[in-house]
Amino acid sequence: MYDGLPHYIKDQALNEGALLVGFTKIRRVEPVIILGFPFTDTWFFKHPLKISKLLGKTSTASKHVQDVVAEILKSEGYRAEYKTIWSLYGDFRPLAVSAGLGEWGRNGIIVNKEHGSGLLFAAIFTNIPLEVSIPKSREKQYMQEHCTNCQQCISSCPANAFEDNRFHTYRCLPYAVKGCAECLKICKKKPS
């Protein structure tokens, strides 16, 4: 492996359609490449055909990027197994945070400073020696920077689902089913 392989992988993934690329490790041992793809805050029940089409397009882009990266890894002698944006076997949000692709929002969604919260994540599990995207010396500081003062998602919630420093799913659900996505829409706005 040459030293620039992780940079090459990242460049290729971005050129092929990924919005974000980060590296992390599961249990601090197993290398994983996390890919972020754009998604909309339009709610499925309001626009099922539009959302289905967008999900299909994002799924195709995700699979293409993962195929390209897997081919690069395999050509260099590394393992490459991946889970797409449709993965039912795990929640990629913690990995996205540890790879530096975003921060935990108060609404439980990953928020990226540049792209907001409209993101879907996919993962490529490999054995290539990778450095985590966030240096360990900065990891604690990075984690503390997430939306602690903004509160736009909290104040925009018509269901008052964020109360007493907790998220109340049972309050959110009736609004969400009707198409409410106010906490996601407001989160796309960059803080001043």
In this predicted model, what pLDDT tens digit does every residue of 120-134 receive, in sequence order? 899 999 999 888 776
**Residue 12 pLDDT grade (very low, low, confident, very high; cuts 50, 70, 90):** very high
The structure tokens 């928020």 sit at: 111
Between residues 147 and 45, the one the model is more confident about: 147
* pLDDT score for 137: 44
Angle, helices 48-75/5-16, rounded to nearest 10 degrees = 150
Interval 108-126 mean pLDDT: 86
32 closest CA partner among 41, 40, 23: 23
Average pLDDT score over the chain: 79
Question: Would the pTM count as exceeding 0.75?
Answer: no
Count the neighbouring beta carbons within 10 Å of the beta carbon of residue 47. Answer: 14
In this predicted model, what pLDDT tens digit does every residue of 128-152 receive, in sequence order? 988 877 644 444 544 445 565 677 7
Interval 13-25 mean pLDDT: 94
106 closest CA partner among 22, 162, 182: 162
